[in-house]
Amino acid sequence: MTGLLICLAAGASPAKLVNRIVAVVNGEIITLHELQQQLSANAPGMEQGGGDEGQRSQAMQRRVLEAMINDTLVKQQADKFEIDVSDVEVQNQIDQIQSENGLSQSELRQAIQDQGMDMEEYRQALRDEIKKNRVLSSMVRQKVVVAEDEMRSYYDKHQDQFRRPKTVGLRIIVHPSRERVKQVRRAVASGDMSFAQAAASVSQGPGADQGGRLGSFEWKDLKPDWRRMLDGLQAGQMTPVFSLQGNAALLAVEDVADKQVQPFEAVKDKIRQQIYGQKLEDRYQEYIQGLREKAVIDLRLEQTG
């Protein structure tokens, strides 16, 4: 079920239950029932408890209520700007939600009813959500710009984030006879045959039909004893003969790629997303703080008992 379907549950009419008021935002009330619905959406099954659990529950209540206050302030700005959302836009949003969740019309209606809303209330909640998004797009998102020099600076200062892990390509020969594997090792070392040829003719292990090729592995994922044997080896070099599950084995390094910093162009989009996300959050908090400083907010959560 889409989060939109669940999180908008707080739009249900407070008249359905006798409510306490937990906050008043510029004269607009937020009820205990609305808060509980949002808490259910954020932490299903969360119950009040004693000790630390009770404290965590209270902290969650406060965080969710603060978010609801912020949403109310943004919605009030949408009303102030007289942002209009047509019935067609609301229906398009409903159609999208229905499509994304694979719901029939009757299933969607049932899901809405399960959230304590009727269809008209749900439409109004969607309308409000679209309005809020337009305010945020205008006042927050459109004001966030990530310049090329910012991305370059971030790249230069965070090189370790963009290093490829060390990888090693390996081939293996596995055979019951230790002496036979030693003979093969000497033949490969003297150049009489390649490791791949030896694996194809002798190995009884994995990838024998592909010259004993195991594939490429991140260094950190190899077993410690393999790392010890392979440490310092270059492409074309072999380990000593070792025991492997009752057989004799021999590893050869096909290629090694040490940690390398990826080029700027390869990680540019990732950097842009990181910077944009942080700047967007900063701009949002700045915008909300400005709204809160001008608002009259009466917080009554502690009085709910």
Split at pLDDT 50, 70, 90, the class of 45 is very low
Looking up residue 60, the CATH number of its domain turns out to be 1.10.4030.10
Average pLDDT over residues 171-187: 96
Q: Does residue 228 sit in the same domain as residue 294?
A: no
Looking up residue 202, the CATH number of its domain turns out to be 3.10.50.40
Q: Are 122 and 112 in contact (CB under 8 A)?
A: yes
**167's torsion region: left (phi>0), alpha (psi -120 to 50) or beta?**
beta
In a domain, 271, yes or no: no
Q: What is the per-residue pLDDT across 202-219, written as a single tens digit (0 to 9) for each? A: 999 999 999 999 999 999
Tell me the DSSP string of 54-69. HHHHHHHHHHHHHHHH
Q: What is the per-residue pLDDT across 122-154, written as a single tens digit (0 to 9) for each? A: 999 899 999 999 999 999 999 999 999 999 999
In a domain, 160, yes or no: no
Instruction: Give dist(CA 96, CA 88) in Å, integer.
Output: 12
Q: Are 72 and 28 in contact (CB under 8 A)?
A: yes
Q: Does residue 106 sit in the same domain as residue 170?
A: no
Q: Does residue 212 sit in the same domain as residue 171?
A: yes
> How many domains in the chain?
2
For residue 287, give its domain range: 3-145+276-304
pLDDT of residue 51: 53
Instruction: Give dist(CA 197, CA 65) in Å, integer.
Output: 69
Q: Does residue 253 sit in the same domain as residue 283?
A: no
pLDDT of residue 6: 39
Q: Does residue 246 sit in the same domain as residue 172?
A: yes
Q: Does residue 285 sit in the same domain as residue 140?
A: yes
In a domain, 230, yes or no: yes
Split at pLDDT 50, 70, 90, the class of 95 is very high
Q: What is the per-residue pLDDT across 243-298, written as a single tens digit (0 to 9) for each? A: 999 999 999 999 998 878 889 999 999 999 999 999 999 999 999 999 999 999 99
Q: Are 271 and 154 in contact (CB under 8 A)?
A: yes
